[in-house]
Amino acid sequence: MSGQLTVPGALTTDLYEVGMALAYLRDGMTGEAVFGLFVRKLPPRRGFLVAAGLESALSYLEGLRVGHTEAAAFAEALHRPVEDLEPLVGLEFTGEVRAVPEGRIVFAGEPLLEVRAPLPQAQLAETSLLNLISHQTAVASKAARCRIAAAGRPVVDFSLRRTQGVEAGLRMARLGALVGFAGTSNVAAATAYGIPAVGTMAHSFVEAYEDEEAAFRAFARAHPGPVTFLVDTYDTEEGVATAARVLRDLGHVPGTGCGVRLDSGDLGDLAVRARRILDAAGLGEVRIVASGGLDEDAIEALVRSGAPVDVYAVGTRVGVSADAPYLDSAYKLAVYDGRPVMKLSAGKVTAPGAKQVFRGPGLADTVGLWDEAPPPGTEPLLGTVMSGGHRVAGPAPLPAVRERFEADLAALPEEARRIADPVAPRPAVSGALAELTERVRHRIERRVFGGRAADG
């Protein structure tokens, strides 16, 4: 269907991944590797993240194959004879994936996903996995903050015209629904994901008619169901009064879901005036929709002011996660051929071993080793979602993913939920993981530095 996303293929990778995978194959380094994908630190003004992008990542891995066409493209990019790339032909993903389910709230330093596969396969997958998980987690987290700021009022997605690509618009609509948005203007996304489609009109529509009343009446005739009129093309208060008159004349009585949309100016003050006009016309149930550069900060300010806004429509700033458009994410080797490994670079030290996150009440998390016993009163967050290169179950329905998010949001500490100056929980480290980290660090320092400590 038209809303389906394009799944990246083997060529959607950085060139150095190809060179590394080729070297591994030439040297016979095909032992099992464990790579972990995590966020080093949260962006400023974030108290949590919402895990997202897993379904896209699994679709990518299921289709990851290198054929002769891909080998020829790699050879051209590397300026080498195609014969040199022959070792890569036939490579496909046959490994296992463990991951945090989409919709769960996560924090810095926790693995969102771990790949366990032959080293060349796991290496070649790095770039696309980072892209798919990082982008969608960043956007879902921004959208979740809008939900919090709206304090129970519906939020809808108007972002398609401003997202960085139409596929990003499709993803934004899905991610908005994942965190509880009430609808999207994106018809393809509404069709593909079963999200309610919502929309009003553009200023150009009003301008095309002789006056607002003619435009509103024409629009209402074309839409026998509930209508929402854009009332700020010329004078907002006059536009609201005209909308009220048209709604009454055409029999659009309270309770039918009709509304007026405010898209510019002092939205709080205009909402108060619009409410007054509508109430005086006996249209107390006609909704006021606010839009125009909104994000969680603007929504929270309107809610705190008591502005009588019933629905918030968000677009540009949320669709591109404007204040935090990227995550400081990484995909790092943790085990190769049974040997735990780690990185000691200053500021980028990693922890060795396959990992698990154990969650306690109030989203109190402990990062530990995959095979250690869960601390009392905790549950493991990561589960096996792919084995032998194939999903162990079909994609989770969007309502089920939303339920996960709602449950975690309800348990999230208040200081992490704050829009301004949030404080993110800091996961603990299990004793077993701390002990393994020190043991591997000392082993590396003895081998590489002759006992001298690294600068990390």
Compute the C-alpha angle 265/266/269, nearest 5°: 135
Distance, in Å, from the CA atom of 241 to the CA atom of 278, rounded to the nearest integer, reads 7
DSSP character for 449? Answer: H
Predicted confidence at residue 257, as pLDDT, reads 86
What is the mean pLDDT of the segment spanning 329-345? 96
Do 109 and 184 belong together in one domain? no
Q: Do 349 and 423 fall into the same domain? A: yes
Given this model, what pLDDT does residue 6 score?
78
Domain assignment present for 251: yes
pLDDT of residue 254: 46
CATH number, domain of 267, equals 3.20.20.70
Distance of alpha carbon 278 from alpha carbon 237, whole angstroms: 10
Query: Residue 252: is its pLDDT beyond 90?
Result: no
Question: Percent of the chain, pLDDT > 90?
Answer: 91
Q: Which residues pair with 157 in a beta bridge?
A: 184, 314
How far apart are the C-alpha atoms of 253 and 248, rounded to whole Å? 6
State whether 211 and 307 are in the same domain. Answer: yes
- pLDDT bracket for residue 455 (50, 70, 90): low
pLDDT of 2 higher than 80: no
Are both 20 and 85 inside the same structural domain?
yes
- Asked if 310 and 170 sit in the same domain, the reply is yes
Q: How far, in Å, CA of 288 to CA of 447, rounded?
A: 67
Does one domain contain both 344 and 215? no
List the beta bridge partners of residue 330: 38
Q: Are residues 261 and 175 in the same domain?
A: yes
Host domain of residue 68 = 15-139+324-449
Between 6 and 192, where is the model more confident?
Answer: 192
Helix 166-178 to helix 126-150 angle (10° resolution) is 50
Number of domains making up the chain: 2
Q: Is 423 part of any domain?
A: yes
Q: How sure is the predictor about 86, in pLDDT bands with cuts at 50, 70 and 90?
A: very high
Residue where a domain terminates, one of 319, 352, 375: 319
Residue in this structure with the two tokens 């309107």, named with its chain if needed: 302
Q: Which helix (H) or strand (E) holds 189?
A: helix 187-193
Which pTM was predicted?
A: 0.94
3-state secondary structure of 180: coil
Query: What CATH number is associated with residue 25?
Result: 3.20.140.10
Does any domain span residue 337? yes
Percent of the chain with pLDDT over 70: 97
Same-domain check for residues 191 and 314: yes
2 within domain boundaries: no
Residue 300 lies in a domain: yes
